[in-house]
Amino acid sequence: MKKIIKYLPLLALLFVGCQSNDEENFANKGFIDTKPMVSETIIKGTMTDFSKTLNISLARPAETEVKATFAADPSLVDTYNKAYYAHATALPTECYKLETSEVSVPVGSVKSTNAMITFQQLNTLNRDLVYVLPVKVTSNNIDLLSSSKTYYYIFRAGSLINVVADMENSNYLTVKWATPDRVSNMTKVTFEALIKARDLSKLISTVMGIEGNFLLRIGDADRKGNQLQLATGSGGNFPAPDATKGLPINKWVHVAMTLDCETHKVIIYVDGKIQSEGNLNLRSVDIRGNGSDRDFMIGFSYSSGRELDGYISEVRVWDVVRTKEEIAKNIYSVDPKSEGLVGYWKLDDQSGTEVKDYTGNGNTATANAKLKWFNVSLPEK
Protein backbone atom coordinates (compact mmCIF):
# COMPACT_ATOMS: atom_id res chain seq x y z
CA MET A 1 0.00 0.00 0.00
CA LYS A 2 2.84 2.33 0.94
CA LYS A 3 4.50 1.61 -2.43
CA ILE A 4 1.31 2.54 -4.30
CA ILE A 5 1.00 5.82 -2.42
CA LYS A 6 4.67 6.50 -3.11
CA TYR A 7 4.15 6.35 -6.92
CA LEU A 8 0.81 8.26 -7.12
CA PRO A 9 2.43 11.69 -7.75
CA LEU A 10 4.44 10.21 -10.63
CA LEU A 11 1.33 8.60 -12.16
CA ALA A 12 -0.55 11.89 -11.90
CA LEU A 13 2.29 13.74 -13.64
CA LEU A 14 2.34 11.18 -16.46
CA PHE A 15 -1.48 11.50 -16.93
CA VAL A 16 -1.30 15.28 -17.16
CA GLY A 17 1.52 15.02 -19.64
CA CYS A 18 -0.41 12.61 -21.87
CA GLN A 19 -3.51 14.82 -21.77
CA SER A 20 -1.44 17.84 -22.77
CA ASN A 21 0.09 15.93 -25.69
CA ASP A 22 -3.41 14.80 -26.89
CA GLU A 23 -4.68 18.38 -26.92
CA GLU A 24 -1.64 19.51 -28.89
CA ASN A 25 -2.13 16.68 -31.38
CA PHE A 26 -5.85 17.59 -31.84
CA ALA A 27 -5.26 20.48 -34.25
CA ASN A 28 -8.05 22.97 -34.90
CA LYS A 29 -9.67 22.40 -38.30
CA GLY A 30 -11.95 24.37 -40.58
CA PHE A 31 -14.87 23.22 -42.71
CA ILE A 32 -17.63 24.64 -44.91
CA ASP A 33 -20.47 25.29 -42.52
CA THR A 34 -23.41 23.62 -44.25
CA LYS A 35 -24.87 20.17 -44.71
CA PRO A 36 -25.30 18.53 -47.13
CA MET A 37 -22.51 19.76 -49.40
CA VAL A 38 -24.86 20.03 -52.38
CA SER A 39 -27.73 22.39 -53.25
CA GLU A 40 -30.02 22.15 -56.26
CA THR A 41 -31.72 25.02 -58.07
CA ILE A 42 -34.61 24.35 -60.45
CA ILE A 43 -34.50 26.75 -63.39
CA LYS A 44 -37.98 28.04 -64.15
CA GLY A 45 -39.04 30.75 -66.56
CA THR A 46 -37.09 33.98 -66.81
CA MET A 47 -35.08 33.66 -63.62
CA THR A 48 -33.55 36.84 -62.26
CA ASP A 49 -30.05 37.03 -60.80
CA PHE A 50 -29.69 35.76 -57.25
CA SER A 51 -26.87 35.30 -54.74
CA LYS A 52 -25.74 32.56 -52.37
CA THR A 53 -23.33 32.72 -49.42
CA LEU A 54 -20.79 30.30 -47.99
CA ASN A 55 -18.62 30.44 -44.88
CA ILE A 56 -16.35 28.25 -42.81
CA SER A 57 -16.51 27.23 -39.18
CA LEU A 58 -13.80 25.98 -36.81
CA ALA A 59 -13.83 23.12 -34.35
CA ARG A 60 -12.51 25.47 -31.63
CA PRO A 61 -12.29 29.27 -31.28
CA ALA A 62 -9.49 30.78 -33.35
CA GLU A 63 -6.33 31.68 -31.43
CA THR A 64 -5.16 33.83 -34.34
CA GLU A 65 -7.11 35.27 -37.25
CA VAL A 66 -7.91 32.57 -39.79
CA LYS A 67 -8.14 33.48 -43.46
CA ALA A 68 -9.59 31.37 -46.28
CA THR A 69 -10.45 31.74 -49.96
CA PHE A 70 -13.40 30.35 -51.92
CA ALA A 71 -12.96 29.70 -55.64
CA ALA A 72 -14.79 27.91 -58.43
CA ASP A 73 -13.02 24.70 -59.42
CA PRO A 74 -14.45 23.18 -62.64
CA SER A 75 -11.82 20.42 -62.47
CA LEU A 76 -13.95 18.81 -59.74
CA VAL A 77 -16.92 18.18 -62.04
CA ASP A 78 -15.72 14.62 -62.65
CA THR A 79 -15.33 14.12 -58.90
CA TYR A 80 -18.96 15.16 -58.42
CA ASN A 81 -20.20 12.90 -61.22
CA LYS A 82 -18.40 9.87 -59.81
CA ALA A 83 -19.52 10.54 -56.23
CA TYR A 84 -23.18 11.14 -57.13
CA TYR A 85 -23.49 8.87 -60.20
CA ALA A 86 -24.39 11.95 -62.24
CA HIS A 87 -23.72 13.27 -65.74
CA ALA A 88 -23.48 16.99 -65.03
CA THR A 89 -21.51 19.49 -67.06
CA ALA A 90 -19.62 22.52 -65.75
CA LEU A 91 -21.67 25.68 -65.27
CA PRO A 92 -20.46 28.25 -67.86
CA THR A 93 -18.33 31.04 -66.42
CA GLU A 94 -20.75 33.71 -67.64
CA CYS A 95 -23.43 32.25 -65.36
CA TYR A 96 -21.71 33.04 -62.07
CA LYS A 97 -19.54 35.64 -60.38
CA LEU A 98 -17.71 35.44 -57.05
CA GLU A 99 -18.58 38.80 -55.53
CA THR A 100 -16.64 38.07 -52.31
CA SER A 101 -14.13 35.22 -52.20
CA GLU A 102 -11.98 36.06 -49.16
CA VAL A 103 -13.31 35.21 -45.69
CA SER A 104 -11.83 35.44 -42.20
CA VAL A 105 -12.48 34.09 -38.71
CA PRO A 106 -11.69 36.67 -35.98
CA VAL A 107 -9.71 35.68 -32.89
CA GLY A 108 -11.99 34.00 -30.36
CA SER A 109 -14.67 33.15 -32.95
CA VAL A 110 -15.56 29.90 -34.67
CA LYS A 111 -17.38 31.33 -37.71
CA SER A 112 -16.06 33.25 -40.69
CA THR A 113 -17.44 36.14 -42.65
CA ASN A 114 -19.44 35.25 -45.77
CA ALA A 115 -18.28 34.60 -49.30
CA MET A 116 -20.88 35.58 -51.91
CA ILE A 117 -21.59 34.11 -55.33
CA THR A 118 -24.05 35.66 -57.79
CA PHE A 119 -25.74 33.44 -60.37
CA GLN A 120 -26.94 35.02 -63.61
CA GLN A 121 -28.16 34.27 -67.15
CA LEU A 122 -29.42 30.85 -66.06
CA ASN A 123 -32.31 31.01 -68.53
CA THR A 124 -29.73 30.81 -71.35
CA LEU A 125 -28.67 27.30 -70.32
CA ASN A 126 -29.53 24.20 -72.32
CA ARG A 127 -32.63 22.80 -70.64
CA ASP A 128 -31.65 19.24 -71.55
CA LEU A 129 -28.48 19.34 -69.44
CA VAL A 130 -27.68 19.35 -65.73
CA TYR A 131 -25.01 21.81 -64.62
CA VAL A 132 -22.72 21.85 -61.59
CA LEU A 133 -20.45 24.50 -60.10
CA PRO A 134 -17.92 23.09 -57.60
CA VAL A 135 -16.72 25.74 -55.13
CA LYS A 136 -13.62 24.86 -53.09
CA VAL A 137 -12.20 26.60 -50.03
CA THR A 138 -8.45 26.81 -49.29
CA SER A 139 -6.46 28.28 -46.40
CA ASN A 140 -2.77 28.82 -45.63
CA ASN A 141 -3.10 28.99 -41.85
CA ILE A 142 -5.51 26.21 -40.90
CA ASP A 143 -6.18 22.66 -42.00
CA LEU A 144 -9.51 21.99 -43.69
CA LEU A 145 -11.53 18.81 -43.39
CA SER A 146 -11.18 17.03 -46.73
CA SER A 147 -14.84 15.95 -46.65
CA SER A 148 -16.10 19.51 -46.07
CA LYS A 149 -14.04 21.81 -48.25
CA THR A 150 -15.95 21.56 -51.55
CA TYR A 151 -19.54 22.65 -52.14
CA TYR A 152 -21.53 21.77 -55.26
CA TYR A 153 -24.22 24.01 -56.79
CA ILE A 154 -26.49 22.04 -59.11
CA PHE A 155 -28.79 23.54 -61.75
CA ARG A 156 -31.44 21.68 -63.73
CA ALA A 157 -34.46 22.75 -65.76
CA GLY A 158 -37.91 22.48 -64.25
CA SER A 159 -41.35 22.81 -65.76
CA LEU A 160 -42.02 26.33 -66.99
CA ILE A 161 -45.77 25.76 -67.17
CA ASN A 162 -47.70 23.64 -64.67
CA VAL A 163 -51.31 24.72 -65.29
CA VAL A 164 -53.22 25.73 -68.43
CA ALA A 165 -56.80 26.69 -69.27
CA ASP A 166 -59.11 24.15 -70.86
CA MET A 167 -61.42 26.02 -73.24
CA GLU A 168 -64.10 23.37 -73.07
CA ASN A 169 -67.84 23.85 -73.54
CA SER A 170 -67.34 26.79 -75.90
CA ASN A 171 -65.71 28.95 -73.23
CA TYR A 172 -63.69 32.04 -74.17
CA LEU A 173 -62.23 35.25 -72.74
CA THR A 174 -62.88 38.94 -73.35
CA VAL A 175 -60.34 41.71 -72.74
CA LYS A 176 -61.53 45.18 -71.71
CA TRP A 177 -58.38 47.20 -72.28
CA ALA A 178 -57.17 49.28 -69.35
CA THR A 179 -54.59 50.73 -71.75
CA PRO A 180 -56.67 51.55 -74.87
CA ASP A 181 -54.07 54.05 -76.08
CA ARG A 182 -51.58 51.20 -76.53
CA VAL A 183 -53.90 49.25 -78.86
CA SER A 184 -55.76 51.96 -80.80
CA ASN A 185 -53.22 53.01 -83.42
CA MET A 186 -50.72 50.17 -83.62
CA THR A 187 -48.23 50.24 -86.47
CA LYS A 188 -46.33 47.24 -85.13
CA VAL A 189 -48.05 44.15 -83.72
CA THR A 190 -47.12 40.72 -82.40
CA PHE A 191 -49.59 38.05 -81.26
CA GLU A 192 -48.47 34.86 -79.51
CA ALA A 193 -50.20 31.86 -77.96
CA LEU A 194 -49.43 28.31 -76.91
CA ILE A 195 -52.28 25.98 -77.86
CA LYS A 196 -53.18 22.31 -77.91
CA ALA A 197 -56.28 21.76 -80.03
CA ARG A 198 -58.50 18.73 -79.55
CA ASP A 199 -60.38 19.26 -82.80
CA LEU A 200 -59.68 21.40 -85.87
CA SER A 201 -62.29 19.95 -88.19
CA LYS A 202 -64.77 22.82 -88.02
CA LEU A 203 -64.74 25.85 -90.32
CA ILE A 204 -63.03 28.32 -87.94
CA SER A 205 -61.27 27.99 -84.58
CA THR A 206 -60.29 31.33 -83.04
CA VAL A 207 -57.00 32.11 -81.34
CA MET A 208 -57.41 35.84 -80.57
CA GLY A 209 -58.45 39.20 -81.98
CA ILE A 210 -61.55 40.90 -83.38
CA GLU A 211 -63.74 39.53 -86.15
CA GLY A 212 -63.75 41.68 -89.32
CA ASN A 213 -60.89 43.75 -87.97
CA PHE A 214 -57.74 41.91 -86.92
CA LEU A 215 -58.03 38.24 -86.01
CA LEU A 216 -55.62 35.34 -85.66
CA ARG A 217 -57.61 32.19 -86.34
CA ILE A 218 -57.35 28.65 -87.67
CA GLY A 219 -59.31 27.65 -90.78
CA ASP A 220 -61.70 29.45 -93.16
CA ALA A 221 -64.10 28.65 -95.99
CA ASP A 222 -61.31 28.57 -98.58
CA ARG A 223 -58.95 26.25 -96.69
CA LYS A 224 -58.72 23.31 -94.35
CA GLY A 225 -59.77 23.86 -90.77
CA ASN A 226 -56.24 23.40 -89.45
CA GLN A 227 -54.37 26.19 -91.29
CA LEU A 228 -53.41 29.31 -89.33
CA GLN A 229 -54.68 32.57 -90.81
CA LEU A 230 -54.58 36.31 -90.08
CA ALA A 231 -57.89 37.89 -91.11
CA THR A 232 -57.83 41.70 -91.28
CA GLY A 233 -60.99 42.80 -93.06
CA SER A 234 -59.93 45.74 -95.24
CA GLY A 235 -56.33 44.54 -95.48
CA GLY A 236 -57.22 41.06 -96.64
CA ASN A 237 -56.27 37.69 -95.22
CA PHE A 238 -52.90 35.98 -94.98
CA PRO A 239 -51.51 33.51 -96.00
CA ALA A 240 -53.08 31.87 -99.05
CA PRO A 241 -54.63 28.41 -98.63
CA ASP A 242 -51.98 25.69 -98.37
CA ALA A 243 -52.79 22.12 -97.37
CA THR A 244 -49.18 21.54 -96.29
CA LYS A 245 -49.42 24.15 -93.51
CA GLY A 246 -51.91 22.43 -91.24
CA LEU A 247 -51.51 22.47 -87.46
CA PRO A 248 -51.60 19.19 -85.54
CA ILE A 249 -54.21 18.21 -82.96
CA ASN A 250 -53.50 16.86 -79.48
CA LYS A 251 -50.05 18.40 -79.54
CA TRP A 252 -48.73 21.63 -78.00
CA VAL A 253 -47.96 24.21 -80.67
CA HIS A 254 -46.73 27.78 -80.31
CA VAL A 255 -48.32 30.12 -82.86
CA ALA A 256 -47.29 33.71 -83.51
CA MET A 257 -47.90 36.53 -85.94
CA THR A 258 -45.96 39.75 -86.52
CA LEU A 259 -46.99 42.74 -88.63
CA ASP A 260 -45.07 45.91 -89.43
CA CYS A 261 -47.48 48.41 -91.00
CA GLU A 262 -44.63 50.66 -92.10
CA THR A 263 -42.99 47.97 -94.23
CA HIS A 264 -46.26 45.99 -94.67
CA LYS A 265 -44.34 42.81 -93.83
CA VAL A 266 -46.33 40.05 -92.12
CA ILE A 267 -44.94 36.76 -90.79
CA ILE A 268 -46.66 33.67 -89.39
CA TYR A 269 -44.59 31.51 -87.01
CA VAL A 270 -45.20 27.97 -85.79
CA ASP A 271 -43.02 26.74 -82.91
CA GLY A 272 -40.63 29.64 -83.40
CA LYS A 273 -40.05 28.93 -87.09
CA ILE A 274 -41.29 30.99 -90.02
CA GLN A 275 -44.22 29.24 -91.69
CA SER A 276 -45.38 32.04 -94.01
CA GLU A 277 -44.24 35.57 -94.83
CA GLY A 278 -45.59 38.21 -97.17
CA ASN A 279 -47.22 41.65 -97.23
CA LEU A 280 -50.47 43.22 -96.01
CA ASN A 281 -51.61 46.72 -96.87
CA LEU A 282 -52.59 48.11 -93.46
CA ARG A 283 -51.71 51.57 -92.16
CA SER A 284 -52.47 50.72 -88.53
CA VAL A 285 -54.30 48.28 -86.28
CA ASP A 286 -57.00 49.09 -83.72
CA ILE A 287 -58.00 46.27 -81.37
CA ARG A 288 -59.83 48.28 -78.69
CA GLY A 289 -63.16 46.66 -79.56
CA ASN A 290 -66.70 48.06 -79.61
CA GLY A 291 -67.80 46.99 -76.15
CA SER A 292 -70.00 44.13 -77.35
CA ASP A 293 -69.72 41.53 -80.13
CA ARG A 294 -66.54 43.01 -81.64
CA ASP A 295 -64.37 43.15 -78.53
CA PHE A 296 -60.89 41.67 -78.34
CA MET A 297 -61.45 38.01 -77.48
CA ILE A 298 -59.32 34.96 -76.82
CA GLY A 299 -60.70 31.68 -78.14
CA PHE A 300 -63.80 33.17 -79.78
CA SER A 301 -64.94 35.52 -82.55
CA TYR A 302 -68.32 36.94 -83.47
CA SER A 303 -70.61 33.90 -83.26
CA SER A 304 -70.86 30.48 -81.67
CA GLY A 305 -69.14 27.62 -83.46
CA ARG A 306 -65.87 29.51 -83.82
CA GLU A 307 -64.45 28.73 -80.38
CA LEU A 308 -61.09 27.07 -79.82
CA ASP A 309 -61.65 23.50 -78.69
CA GLY A 310 -58.58 22.70 -76.62
CA TYR A 311 -56.05 24.06 -74.16
CA ILE A 312 -54.40 27.47 -74.20
CA SER A 313 -51.56 29.21 -72.37
CA GLU A 314 -49.05 32.06 -72.70
CA VAL A 315 -51.22 34.50 -74.68
CA ARG A 316 -49.40 37.76 -75.45
CA VAL A 317 -50.07 40.99 -77.33
CA TRP A 318 -47.17 43.32 -78.21
CA ASP A 319 -46.95 46.75 -79.80
CA VAL A 320 -43.55 45.88 -81.27
CA VAL A 321 -42.45 43.40 -83.92
CA ARG A 322 -40.72 40.54 -82.14
CA THR A 323 -37.82 38.92 -83.97
CA LYS A 324 -37.62 35.28 -84.93
CA GLU A 325 -34.98 34.74 -82.25
CA GLU A 326 -37.06 36.41 -79.55
CA ILE A 327 -40.12 34.36 -80.40
CA ALA A 328 -38.23 31.05 -80.51
CA LYS A 329 -36.40 31.77 -77.25
CA ASN A 330 -39.51 32.63 -75.22
CA ILE A 331 -42.14 30.08 -76.20
CA TYR A 332 -42.93 28.94 -72.65
CA SER A 333 -42.34 32.15 -70.73
CA VAL A 334 -41.25 35.74 -71.14
CA ASP A 335 -40.27 38.59 -68.84
CA PRO A 336 -43.54 40.42 -67.99
CA LYS A 337 -41.63 43.71 -68.06
CA SER A 338 -40.34 43.20 -71.60
CA GLU A 339 -40.44 46.30 -73.78
CA GLY A 340 -43.57 46.48 -75.92
CA LEU A 341 -45.57 43.84 -74.04
CA VAL A 342 -49.12 45.22 -73.74
CA GLY A 343 -51.01 42.17 -72.48
CA TYR A 344 -49.70 38.90 -71.06
CA TRP A 345 -52.10 36.18 -69.93
CA LYS A 346 -50.32 33.08 -68.64
CA LEU A 347 -53.68 31.41 -68.06
CA ASP A 348 -52.44 29.57 -64.99
CA ASP A 349 -54.62 31.43 -62.48
CA GLN A 350 -56.77 28.50 -61.34
CA SER A 351 -59.44 31.09 -60.56
CA GLY A 352 -63.09 31.28 -61.57
CA THR A 353 -63.46 33.68 -64.47
CA GLU A 354 -60.78 36.38 -64.14
CA VAL A 355 -57.38 35.92 -65.78
CA LYS A 356 -54.51 38.17 -64.72
CA ASP A 357 -52.52 40.36 -67.08
CA TYR A 358 -48.94 39.78 -65.91
CA THR A 359 -47.61 42.97 -67.45
CA GLY A 360 -49.09 45.02 -64.63
CA ASN A 361 -51.05 47.06 -67.19
CA GLY A 362 -54.34 45.85 -65.75
CA ASN A 363 -55.70 44.34 -68.97
CA THR A 364 -57.62 41.60 -67.17
CA ALA A 365 -59.30 38.94 -69.32
CA THR A 366 -62.72 37.69 -68.23
CA ALA A 367 -64.05 34.25 -69.12
CA ASN A 368 -67.57 33.76 -70.41
CA ALA A 369 -68.02 30.91 -67.89
CA LYS A 370 -66.05 29.39 -65.04
CA LEU A 371 -62.77 28.14 -66.41
CA LYS A 372 -61.55 24.59 -66.12
CA TRP A 373 -57.86 24.18 -65.33
CA PHE A 374 -55.62 21.35 -66.43
CA ASN A 375 -52.28 20.27 -64.91
CA VAL A 376 -49.36 19.93 -67.32
CA SER A 377 -45.58 19.85 -67.34
CA LEU A 378 -44.20 22.05 -70.11
CA PRO A 379 -41.96 21.91 -71.96
CA GLU A 380 -42.57 18.22 -72.44
CA LYS A 381 -39.56 15.95 -72.08
Chain-centroid distance of CA 262 in Å reads 34
Same fold, 28-157 and 161-378: no
First to last CA, the chain: 84
Average pLDDT score over residue span 171-178: 96
Task: Write the pLDDT tens digit of every residue in 299-337.
Answer: 999 888 899 999 999 999 999 999 999 999 999 999 999
Chain-centroid distance of CA 308 in Å reads 27
CATH code of the domain occupying 161-378: 2.60.120.200
- The DSSP 8-state label assigned to residue 312 in this structure reads E
The CATH H-level (homologous superfamily) assignment of domain 28-157 is hypothetical protein (bacova_03559) (2.60.40.1740)
Q: Which residues neighbour 54 within 8 Å (Cβ) at sequence distance 6 or greater? A: 32, 33, 34, 70, 114, 115, 117, 135, 137, 151
Contact 339/322 with Cβ under 8 angstroms? no
User: Predicted confidence band at 169 (pLDDT cuts at 50, 70, 90)?
Assistant: confident
Instruction: Look at residue 16 and tell me whether its pLDDT is greater than 50.
Output: no
Domain borders along the chain are 28-157, 161-378
Q: Which residues neighbour 336 within 8 Å (Cβ) at sequence distance 6 or greater? A: 344, 358, 359, 360
Instruction: Look at residue 18 and tell me whether its pLDDT is greater than 50.
Output: no
What predicted TM-score, i.e. pTM, was given to this entire model?
Answer: 0.76
User: Predicted confidence band at 26 (pLDDT cuts at 50, 70, 90)?
Assistant: low
